[in-house]
């Protein structure tokens, strides 16, 4: 068994960088150290683990099986140390200074985000937020500490996952209702929208740039239907703005449509195809459970969602 007392814990940071970058120069740049210093750290790590950890394959370095086995445990150990050191036993939102990274889905942007910003400005002026748009990698980003929490849809298919990671905690927030919208003076759609009309019309949809799959695949994951999307815009929030004066039909969350500007008069309809029940949910990693500041922010988001229409 390897002994902790003869291991320099400072090497954990170098090990994490080397395992993820698989390149000595990039790992050195990431940690703002010289390349010789990083090479020396790798030499010590190889001696300690009695394993090369990184081996040259052609012109690149690849992880050995032992190196692969260390990737997740080392990152998790560092993240838990970071969370522990950053946790204060007492938390006063009025005086605390803290930064949080939040991943948020577009359907929550029109009302939840402004309400959260207003509450923070009054109750916790020293709390700052870095907001990122949702992507299919949200679960990985939460697991690897690249974000503190996320408000996202409870659809595993959106994230190309078969199950929710056991390390993530979740709270269901609000139901999400999808509707269809067309221009108020649409040339062929009257007071109703049939399934036949819907599938025959040209379609517009919002697909965040952070998704690597096609817009059609994103629609398939959301609604389990096949559509050809003629107009793809980078956000669901753009859809109400592009429908005016066109024959497009768009499918979007009712909450987004309700916040659309009055300059784009639209007609709305229930989706003419069956949709599964979807909800917003709040997600975070269990390493943040003991952190009173993190818990306060989570409870604030839950409270705001319970008060929004």
Structural domain spans, the chain: 4-86, 87-309
51 Cβ neighbours under 8 A, 6+ residues apart: 64, 66, 67
Residue 57, beta-bridge partner list:
60
Pick the CATH number of 4-86 from 1.20.1740.10, 3.40.50.10860, 3.30.750.24, 1.10.10.10: 1.10.10.10
Residues near 131 by beta carbon (within 8 Å), at least 6 away in sequence? 102, 103, 104, 113
Model confidence pLDDT, tens digit, residues 195-219: 999 999 999 999 877 788 899 999 9
* Structural tokens at position 101: 């990274």
Residue 29 CB contacts under 8 Å (≥ 6 apart), including other chains? none
SS3 215: helix
Q: Which of 212, 206, 205, 72 is nearest to 136 (CA)?
A: 212
- What confidence score (pLDDT) does residue 4 get? 53
The two three-digit tokens of residue 245, written as one number: 């004066």
Contacts of residue 166, Cβ cutoff 8 Å, sequence gap at least 6: none
User: Are 238 and 206 in contact, with CB atoms under 8 Å apart?
Assistant: yes
> Low-confidence residues of the chain, pLDDT below 50?
1-2
| Chain-centroid distance, C-alpha 179 | 24
> Any idea which residue has 């605390």 for tokens?
96
Phi, psi of 278 (to 5 degrees): -125, 150
Per 3-state DSSP, the chain is made up of helix, strand and coil in percentages (nearest 5) of 40, 20, 35
pTM, entire model: 0.74
Query: 87-309: what CATH class?
Result: alpha beta
Q: How far apart are CA 271 and CA 161, in angstroms?
A: 26
Neighbours of 119 (CB within 10 A): 16
Burial class (CB in 10 A: 0-12, 13-18, 19+), 161: middle
Phi, psi of 228, rounded to the nearest 5 degrees: -100, 120
């Amino acid at each position: 068994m390897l002994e902790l007392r003869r291991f320099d814990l400072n090497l954990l940071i170098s090990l994490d960088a080397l395992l993820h970058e698989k390149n000595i120069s990039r790992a050195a740049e990431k940690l703002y150290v010289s390349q010789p210093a990083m090479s020396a750290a790798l030499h010590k790590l190889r001696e300690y683990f009695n394993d090369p950890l990184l081996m040259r394959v052609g012109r690149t370095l690849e992880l050995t099986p032992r190196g692969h086995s260390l990737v997740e445990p080392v990152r998790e150990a560092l993240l838990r140390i970071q969370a522990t050191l950053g946790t204060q036993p007492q938390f006063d939102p009025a005086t605390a200074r803290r930064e949080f990274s939040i991943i948020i889905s577009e359907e929550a942007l029109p009302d939840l985000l402004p309400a959260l910003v207003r509450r923070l400005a009054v109750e916790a002026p020293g709390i700052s937020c870095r907001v990122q748009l949702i992507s299919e990698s949200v679960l990985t980003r939460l697991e690897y500490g690249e974000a503190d929490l996320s408000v996202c849809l409870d659809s595993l298919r959106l994230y190309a996952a078969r199950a929710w990671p056991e390390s993530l905690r979740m709270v269901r927030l609000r139901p999400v209702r999808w509707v269809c919208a067309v221009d108020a003076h649409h040339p062929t759609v009257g007071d109703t929208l049939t399934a036949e009309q819907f599938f025959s019309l040209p379609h517009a949809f919002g697909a965040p740039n952070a998704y690597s799959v096609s817009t059609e695949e994103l629609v398939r994951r959301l609604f389990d239907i096949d559509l050809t999307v003629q107009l793809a815009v980078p956000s669901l929030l753009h859809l109400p703005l592009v429908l005016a004066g066109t024959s497009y039909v768009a499918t979007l969350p009712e909450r987004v449509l309700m916040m659309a500007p009055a300059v784009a008069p639209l007609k709305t309809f229930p989706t003419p195809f069956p949709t599964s029940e979807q909800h917003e949910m709040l997600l975070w990693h269990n390493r943040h459970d003991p952190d009173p500041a993190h818990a306060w922010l989570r409870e604030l988001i839950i409270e705001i969602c319970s008060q929004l229409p």
